[in-house]
Amino acid sequence: MTNQQLEHIALLAEVDDLTARLQKWVDDDVNWDTAQRSRALVGRLLARVETLRFRLETPLVVATFGGTGTGKSTMVNALVGAEVSQTGRQRPTTTTPILLIHPDLEAESLGLDLSQFHVKVVDAPVLRDIVVIDCPDPDTSEGATDGSNLAILRSIVPHCDVLLYASTQQKYKNARVIDELADVASGCRLVFVQTHADLDSDIRDDWKNFLSPSYEVPEMFFVDSLKAWQEQLAHQKPSGDFGRLLDLLASELGTARRVEIRRANLIDLLQEALTVCHTNYQRDIPNIEGLMQALAEQRNQIRDTLTKQLCDELLVNRTLWERRLVSSVTDMWGFSPFSAVLRLYNGLGGLVASFTFFRARTSAQMALIGAMQGARWMKSRAKEQEAESTLERLSNFGISDQQLQESRLVISGHLHSSGIDYESSDDRRDLTDLRKRAASLEDEFLGDASRVIDEVIEKLAVASSHWVTRVRYDIAMMSYVVFLLLRIGYNFFWTSFLAPAFGQRPEAAPLLSVDFYIPALLFLVIWSLLLVSLFTWRLRRGLTQQVQQFATQMADSRLIHGLFPSLEATCRRITKDAERVSGLLDLTTSFRRSIADTSGGFLGGRRDTETSSA
Amino acid sequence: MTSTPDPQAAFRRVAEAIHRVFQGLHNLQERAELLQPPPLEGQEWYELLRQKLVPQLGGGGWLVAAVVGGTNIGKSVVFNHLAGCKASSSSPLASGTRHPVCLVPQGFSEGHDLQTIFPDFQLHEWSDASLALNTSDNHDLYWRAAPELPSTLLVLDTPDIDSDARVNWVRADAVRRSADILIAVLTQQKYNDAAVKEFFRKAAAEDKAVLIVFNQCLLPEDEAYWPVWVKTFCEETGVRPEAVYVAPNDRAAADQLALPFYERPWPVPENWGATEVSNVTRDLKADLSQLKFKEIRLRTLRGSLKEVLDPRSGLPAYLKSLQIASKDLAATSEKLSSEAVLKIRDWPTPHNSTFVEEIRDWWKSRQQGWAKKVNSFYDTLGAGVTWPFRKARDVIQGEPVPALDKYRELEWTAILTTIEELFDKLQWMADTGNRMVKPRIEEILQASTRTRLMETVRQKHAAINFEDEVKDVVASEMATFSEDSPELFRIYKQLHNVSAAVRPMTSVVLFSLGMGPAGETFAPVIADAAANAVVHVVTDVAGGTAAAVAGDTALSGAAASTSGMLQTWFHRLHSVFTQRRVDWLTGLIREELMGDLPEKIKQAADLPASEQFVAVSSSVTDLQSFVNQLQLPDVGEVAPQELS
């Protein structure tokens, strides 16, 4: 007994695990119509899990199902061996469902509304572990109006665990019965019985073929209820298929199988619900994909605009380029005469340029100043005019209000067809929010751009400070200085002093005067300037090409966020949610398959739609 | 019995009216497209019209008898007994017979076109009993000549009416409508099935003659039951059988075409006992031949007519539903047209200097002789003197953006705002509109439509030459103005004093069907333009009527100052220009976005007054009166006076 209880608990734990996952999914709110509808559906089903727990101790409910005149009542009578349900040749015969229960069991504990049944207490062996309901037919009522057989049937079936599906040669393809079966079959195990074996031919093969696409059809029984009834009355064990059917009902639906069967039913229902959810997701997800694509396109458009704008400006701001380049070249160069000249040049230039930096209005200038300096600049600027500056820069830069408006127009179109409940601000015409977004987008973009520019500068600097270049420029620089030194030295040591002293010259030449030094210095400056400008010209030469490279490099980069970050986040959540639904469905399906073989070979059920299509 | 009009003539009139109705219906359906009426095909009355009345009214006097019933209860067996051979294959498996098989009297097919009798089927000559079992999707009908049949009787075997092969139901329904006599095969399992009852209820409503064959009875036990079964069946369906037969459950006999059919009295006599049953086998074919053909034919035609003209489920109900839907739509569109006005408040106008320059050009082109020379001299001189200043400005401030390029930018912003508002408005319409309008507007609201519209408008907007636009406006305005204004020169002199004009306000009416407040306001515009125009523009000077009034006075007399007059005149120039631009946009929207939707809505809203509707409904009225006349000579029926 303890062992059995343990098994029950193990089974329940498995179900618990699945339902916990489902519950977690249901509790996760996603702002999307389809997701919410699906959650409502599964949430409703999960409530039934609790019922399953309560019903563990109650016997299985077995109900008859089938068209009128297929001998449901006769079969029930033959099963219990007593005339408990009126049979007849008038259609329909049974209108009030009859509930058969063993005297040892309590009808109240079944959780059924007993007022809608004729409750009959019958001491039949088959009823020891199950309760049998003889249901009315689904096919004489033309609509499910109150009190019609169909309405009664539909109110009972959800409480049943196993359906005894009876049919005949005339009725086995009856559309109404089949349709009704499709509605009720999930959540029930099925037992297929062809009745009227005394009169009709055996059509079980055709019947099986007919049902197989949508149902798991194990063994089918071909019974002669009348004969079985006679045998029961004569206190004989019913022979043939009926005897086997009786044995199976009596032995296979006992306490041990209750939880398994109920669990299988529940998993069936969950799987069906999840299949519906999955189908809905598959149907609606293309809209979300469309929206995501549109968002990505908008992002790319913005990136392209920014890149283009930035490149244009970069080409214009040559002075800034030069300054950055020169300073990084000199950093690399170390000490040498020419680099000293460059430093001097750059220092002077920097003094002038610093005015420009503080007036750096455009984003390109920002990017050029470099990430470090730019950040410092930003901080000081931001304190002064926080809101203004970004907007001002924006209006000077790439993203125009029109572009924002266009984006919004396109996105709202997609939004409309996607079914996302997206709260935009009250005043739809207001662009302030979008402008702020655009400004922060631009900052993000500029961050990337500065990094890329830094790299470009580094590269150019390295290329320009090759030792050959350095030596060449230094020699050129030094050659004039050396010439000057030689000239001055010759005059200072030789012509004005040593030569007269040694008598080589009749008289000492005068020392070089200011007249000499001024032009010499002038020529030094000119020579330096010439070399510097030659060098910077060299530096600038690769610029256009570099900027183009920069553009392609930026084009490969991706803006992480777009203009509608919360919408993007919602979309991502939805795609994730869709994957989650598929995952849950797979889980349920594999769970269902793993327990499918517990039905003992004679219980059928709805077929897993995925396996049948596969 | 009153004096009987010639039934032949009456039938001819009915036949003509039926043909008129039948023709008119298609036109009507097409016209009512937007109201989304249910398709005609599949509606019982329409199918009756098409399958029974149109082919059979006015045709010769033949009868169609069909064996009908649920699946796997021996329809084909009964049919084979009628045929005297295995004309239709029978099988122990259900829903075997997929296609009808028809027995045609010898020589019938030469005198009659079977295709018109069975318009829905592809006819094939019968060659093999198994043909009826093939599961093709075509509606096939296999026919064979049967010499032993009466010369005016066609007998059919039909597919079932209750199996899951629903195409069988369609075929069985088609046969039922064409038929005059139904041989209803019933069994104790199926006589009270919902599908069976529904089928025969329709047959009873069409006043078909019904022969009941209760098959697979357990005789003699079921002798006590069949009266109850038949009674239930008749009560549930309204069928009044011509005769009732019972047949035993005897598969061997059925296979050998030797199944006995025992006739039973119906209604059952009061003191009738099951013991005194006759066990004389009847020949169904012979019994069939002895029916009163002419009477039955008249009866079924009239029954079908009655069904077609049924005020609750027939053609009148269809017309009524169209009328209601149309009224509903008219109410909705009235609401829409009264509220669907887009107010465009800040449509930009080009800078005054643009107009001023254009006016100068216009002026110059009209000057002659001395004045022209002086003018161009000063122009050249002015250009020369100001050149260095302009150059300096260009260097300092950068080259100024041409005024019209700036305007183009501003206008694009305005266009975007308008389009955005337009879609909001359309969304609102879709949300508040009724079910007929909603899907159409939803179509417009799709994301792809938006993107496409934006692209189109962008391209067209970029292609516009604003200089020409301004030139045109100035030219036309100056032309009208110069005709009757002596103040022209003063205006010219003061041109530079023009201050920025107030922006004109513009309203765009999206839906106007000549109804509602908006419709009234813009009625004159509508009358001028095409009656179906949907977007109308009304330009108004913002700042209200005061400015307009002031303008009138200013223009009419010399009372106001020149500058005031000039201001007003510039207002006008701006208004005209704005109107022109908004016209352009709305025209584009109408063309690209709305398509023929407004026209369709208007058509649908006016449906009851349309030619097509009137044609059909008057034909129906005619038909009604003809049918009433037709009923007069009848003995069994209630007289029409009593009906009303």
A296 contacts chain B (CB < 8 A): no
Query: What would the two tokens of residue B425 be?
Result: 């408005």
Closest CB to A402: pick one of B70, B222, B416. Answer: B416
Chain B: residue whose CA lies nearest to A418 = B447
Look at residue A128 in the predicted model and tell me its pLDDT.
Answer: 86
- C-alpha A322, offset from chain centre: 48
Core vs surface per residue A342-381: b (16+ CB within 10 A) or e: bbebbeebeeebeeebeebebbbbbbbbbbeebeebbeeb
Query: What would the two tokens of residue B236 be?
Result: 């549930």
> Do the Cβ atoms of B165 and A173 come within 8 Å?
yes
Render pLDDT for A220-232 as a digit per residue (tens, 0 to 9): 999 999 899 899 8
Assign A581 a pLDDT band (cuts: 50, 70, 90).
very high
Cβ atoms of B537 and B582 within 8 Å: the answer is yes
Look at residue B640 in the predicted model and tell me its pLDDT.
Answer: 36
Cβ atoms of B504 and B349 within 8 Å: the answer is yes
B166 contacts chain A (CB < 8 A): yes
Q: How far apart are the first and last CA of chain B?
A: 18
Helices (H), B463-556: 466-483, 488-494, 516-521, 523-528, 545-556
Rounded Cα–Cα distance for residues A468 and A466 (Å):
6
Cβ atoms of B586 and B529 within 8 Å: the answer is no
User: Where on the phi/psi map is residue B514: left (φ > 0), alpha (ψ -120 to 50), or beta?
Assistant: left
Look at residue B240 in the predicted model and tell me its pLDDT.
Answer: 92
> Do the Cβ atoms of B189 and A140 come within 8 Å?
no
Give percent of chain A with pLDDT exceeding 90.
17
B412 contacts chain A (CB < 8 A): yes
E strand segments, A387-536:
none
Question: Of A339-353, A538-552, B296-310, which has the strongest mean pLDDT?
Answer: B296-310
Residue A474: how many other CB atoms lie within 10 Å: 18
* φ and ψ of B292, to 5 deg: -80, 95
Which pTM was predicted? Answer: 0.74
Residues 6+ apart with CB under 8 A from A54: A111
* φ and ψ of A613, to 5 deg: -80, -25
Rounded Cα–Cα distance for residues B482 and B480 (Å):
6
Closest CB to A142: pick one of B198, B424, B454. Answer: B198
Q: How many angstroms separate the CA of residue A576 from the nearest CA in chain B?
A: 23
Q: Which of residues 78-97 of B touch A (CB under 8 A)?
A: 92-95
Cβ atoms of B295 and B288 within 8 Å: the answer is no
Rounded Cα–Cα distance for residues A60 and A67 (Å):
23
CB pairs under 8 A between A and B: 133
A199 contacts chain B (CB < 8 A): yes
Helices (H), B540-596: 545-556, 562-589
Query: What would the two tokens of residue B9 be?
Result: 């003539």
Closest CB to B194: pick one of A89, A141, A173. Answer: A141
Closest CA to B64 of B12, B8, B10, B108: B108
> Do the Cβ atoms of B450 and A92 come within 8 Å?
no
Closest CB to B164: pick one of A178, A203, A291. Answer: A178
Closest CB to A175: pick one of B163, B413, B419. Answer: B163
Residue with tokens 């930009």: B348
* Omega prior to B220 cis, within 30 of 0: yes
Cβ neighbours of B427 in A, within 8 Å: 416
E strand segments, B198-249:
209-217, 241-248
Q: Which of residues 118-147 of A touch B (CB under 8 A)?
A: 139-142
Kind and range of the H or E element at B21? Answer: helix B7-31
Chain B: residue whose CA lies nearest to A71 = B189
State whether residue B382 is helix, strand or coil.
helix
> Do the Cβ atoms of A401 and B427 come within 8 Å?
no
Query: Comparing A305 with B525, which gets the higher pLDDT?
Result: A305
Q: Hey, CA dihedral for B155, B159, B162, B168, is it positive or negative?
A: negative
Q: What domains does chain A contain, in order, with CATH numbers?
A: 60-253 (3.40.50.300), 286-572 (no CATH)
Report ipTM for this prediction: 0.72
Q: Hey, CA dihedral for B246, B250, B251, B254, is it positive or negative?
A: negative
B198 contacts chain A (CB < 8 A): yes
Cβ atoms of A150 and A138 within 8 Å: the answer is yes
Q: What domains does chain B contain, in order, with CATH numbers?
A: 59-269+277-295 (3.40.50.300), 345-504+541-595 (no CATH)
Look at residue A385 in the predicted model and tell me its pLDDT.
Answer: 46
> Do the Cβ atoms of A173 and B71 come within 8 Å?
yes
* Partners of A189 in the β-ladder: A162
* Partners of B166 in the β-ladder: none
Q: Which of residues 318-347 of A touch B (CB under 8 A)?
A: none
Rounded Cα–Cα distance for residues B283 and B165 (Å):
32
pLDDT for residue A150 is more than 80: yes
Cβ atoms of B328 and B433 within 8 Å: the answer is no
> Do the Cβ atoms of B189 and A90 come within 8 Å?
no
Cβ neighbours of B216 in A, within 8 Å: 199
Strands A605-606 and A215-216 turn out to be: antiparallel
| pLDDT lower than 50: segments of chain B | 1-4, 500-501, 512-560, 632-644
Q: Which of residues 31-70 of A touch B (CB under 8 A)?
A: 67-70
The Cβ-side half-sphere exposure at B437, using a 13 Å CA radius, reads: 30
Cβ atoms of A84 and A132 within 8 Å: the answer is no
CA angle B603, B608, B612 (to 5 degrees): 75
Please classify residue B110 by burial: count the beta carbons closer than 10 Å to its beta carbon, then call 0-12 exposed, 13-18 middle and 19+ buried.
exposed
Q: How many angstroms separate the CA of residue A119 from the nearest CA in chain B?
A: 27
Rounded Cα–Cα distance for residues B24 and B573 (Å):
53
State whether residue B71 is helix, strand or coil.
coil
Q: How many angstroms separate the CA of residue B94 from the nearest CA in chain A?
A: 6
Look at residue B186 in the predicted model and tell me its pLDDT.
Answer: 93
Query: What would the two tokens of residue A334 be?
Result: 């170390």
- C-alpha B618, offset from chain centre: 20
State whether residue B519 is helix, strand or coil.
helix
B348 contacts chain A (CB < 8 A): no
Give percent of chain A with pLDDT exceeding 70.
86
Look at residue B313 in the predicted model and tell me its pLDDT.
Answer: 87
Q: How many angstroms separate the CA of residue A403 from the nearest CA in chain B?
A: 9
State whether residue B541 is helix, strand or coil.
coil
Closest CB to B194: pick one of A176, A203, A409. Answer: A176
* Partners of B101 in the β-ladder: B142, B157
Rounded Cα–Cα distance for residues A605 and A603 (Å):
7
**Average pLDDT in chain A:** 81
Look at residue B196 in the predicted model and tell me its pLDDT.
Answer: 92
Look at residue A601 in the predicted model and tell me its pLDDT.
Answer: 60
Query: What would the two tokens of residue A34 be?
Result: 């389809």
Rounded Cα–Cα distance for residues A451 and B402 (Å):
37
Residues 6+ apart with CB under 8 A from A529: none
Query: What would the two tokens of residue A213 be?
Result: 């696409």
- Diameter over CA atoms, chain A: 166
Look at residue B354 in the predicted model and tell me its pLDDT.
Answer: 80
Q: From residue B439, give the alpha-carbon distance in Å to each of A16, B430, B597.
A: 45, 8, 11
Residue A610: how many other CB atoms lie within 10 Å: 13
Which of A176-180, A290-294, B141-145, B376-380 comes out lowest in average pLDDT? Answer: B376-380
Query: Comparing A100 with A331, which gets the higher pLDDT?
Result: A100
User: Where on the phi/psi map is residue B283: left (φ > 0), alpha (ψ -120 to 50), or beta?
Assistant: beta
State whether residue A535 is helix, strand or coil.
helix
State the amino acid at position A608 in one-letter form. D
pLDDT for residue A516 is more than 80: yes
CA angle A313, A314, A320 (to 5 degrees): 115
